[in-house]
Amino acid sequence: MATADAPAGSGGALPNWVMLDRFIFRRDDPQSFREDKRTSATGETSVGAHFRISFILAEPPTPSRLYLSWPGGPKREKMCHLASAHRNLVLLRLDSYVDPSNPSPFGEIAHDYFIYYVAADPRSQAQSTPALRRLPGCTVHNAYLGRPIPRPFVPYGVGLLCCGEEFVVAYLGVGRRDPEAEALEVELWVLRSTVRGDSADGGEKWEAMYLPIQGQHVKHINLLNFTTNEVVPFKNTLCWVDYRRGVLYCEDICGDSPKAVFAGFPPDYSSYHPAGFPALYRSLCVTEGGRTLAILDVGRHDGADIGRMVPDTGFTIVSKAVTETQSANSFVVQADDLWAAHPKEELPREVMMLPLMSLDDINVAHFVLYNWADLSEKVKVSLVTIDLSTKRVVGKVVPYIDGVDLSTDDADLVEAKPNYFMHFLPAEFPKFLNLQRTMKNPA
């Protein structure tokens, strides 16, 4: 099984960007908590429970990991989430029972959002190590209880956008305030703040906005069932992506007049997929150092959603820039192209899933290879990097999960991963850690 083995306190350079595994490795036992002191930070939830996190980083396509030690937190699964990342910031969420003595499935839960941040200015002496800051919770008045209660958000529907020293955390839903109205609108919950702000004084508050949905595809696609698969930050825009329908762009979300624009996926993209699980094979990616937004898509020739490919079939990889830049390219790569260039020992004949383009290079993409074996016998997951321009594998296939051995330290990952198909989260905060180290230790 591949792991990111950056030793604590290592003096080597960190990757320029990383692929964060959304699976959080909770290790309350100090003996099993892995730590790299360069990336560690501590925090406290709204109910007074202390916790510690540390990122164990690796060069893509090896996934990077988030380790969490939270001894006073609830022991139920899925109470901690890696929500979003942009530039030098990462957004986390920890869920706690408002009344820890009532940890029933019906107990009231507080959703605590934390900003993990690294100083963006490498010359800054005020913040030389990463830190965590808890954001104010989003609440709505409950008439039955006669008091505010937490406003729940779907964890992976919350976006983060860094705007210099300021940032925005936002959540989007589609609906109608007036049931009789014909037009749909966006309900946008927004929290604006600064990295070094303080939520303790009550100055930061969530606000709700209602925006009309613009765009030429609005009338032709049923947006009432819009389901967010992930939120992608790009320049001054947050992009809520439904991989079956398209993208809701919230432009100028850091400004005073944001607007919502919907764009459906091109017909030649949607035709590649049956209705089931397009999120397994499609990704909206930021690349070329943040200058370009592109769609990366894998189309199975057998038309299946999941499972092994039908014998003698393959797949087509398509990448296409959404925002045209001078260097932006589009590529079409057939499975036969790859298989002709690489024997089975170098590239297993499996379908490629969960595509992710390099943050730096529009020609390079990373994919998950999943063998779709009988889950009761063996699971094998690996990752591969493809140069789309040359149609060749870069480096070697990286093993990730091999077998169902539950005796290792990664037993919880092995047990959960077959049903945990989440896109890796691209993050570039290590670049800012490298900048700090360069400024403080000039050659």
* pLDDT value of position 325: 65
* 89 contacts 165 by C-beta, under 8 angstroms: no
For the chain, what are the domain ranges?
1-134+425-443, 154-265, 278-420
Query: How confident is the model over 58-87, as a mean pLDDT?
Result: 92
* pLDDT value of position 442: 52
* 117 contacts 197 by C-beta, under 8 angstroms: no
Which one-letter DSSP state was computed for residue 413? H
Burial (CB count <10 Å: 0-12, 13-18, 19+), residue 399:
middle
Q: What angle do CA 53, 55, 61 make, to 5 degrees?
A: 150
Is 399's pLDDT higher than 80? yes
Query: How confident is the model over 360-376, as a mean pLDDT?
Result: 83
More confidently predicted of 390 and 269: 390
* pLDDT value of position 405: 55
Is 328's pLDDT higher than 90? no
> Rounded CA gap, 13 and 16, in Å?
9
* pLDDT value of position 6: 43
What are the residues whose beta carbons fall under 8 Å from the beta carbon of 248, sequence distance 6 or more?
Answer: 172, 174, 186, 213, 223, 226, 239, 240, 242, 260, 261, 262
Going by pLDDT thresholds of 50, 70 and 90, the confidence category of residue 285 is very high
* pLDDT value of position 21: 93
Query: How confident is the model over 249-258, as a mean pLDDT?
Result: 90
Going by pLDDT thresholds of 50, 70 and 90, the confidence category of residue 175 is confident
- Residue-wise pLDDT tens digits, 3-14: 444 444 455 678
Query: How confident is the model over 400-412, as a mean pLDDT?
Result: 65
Which one-letter DSSP state was computed for residue 199? G
Burial (CB count <10 Å: 0-12, 13-18, 19+), residue 211:
middle
CA dist list (Å): 304 to 43, 169, 277, 281, 421: 44, 36, 9, 11, 16
> Rounded CA gap, 407 and 405, in Å?
6
> Rounded CA gap, 202 and 208, in Å?
17
- Residue-wise pLDDT tens digits, 93-151: 999 988 777 766 667 888 999 999 998 765 555 456 899 999 998 888 888 888 888 88
- Residue 369 — φ and ψ, nearest 5°? -105, 125
> Rounded CA gap, 92 and 45, in Å?
12
* pLDDT value of position 33: 94
Average pLDDT of the residues of the chain? 85
Query: How confident is the model over 6-28, as a mean pLDDT?
Result: 79
What are the residues whose beta carbons fall under 8 Å from the beta carbon of 159, sequence distance 6 or more?
Answer: 84, 168, 169, 170, 171, 172, 231, 232, 233, 238, 240
Token pair in block for residue 273: 């997929």
Strands 292-300 and 80-86: unpaired
* pLDDT value of position 151: 86
* pLDDT value of position 271: 45
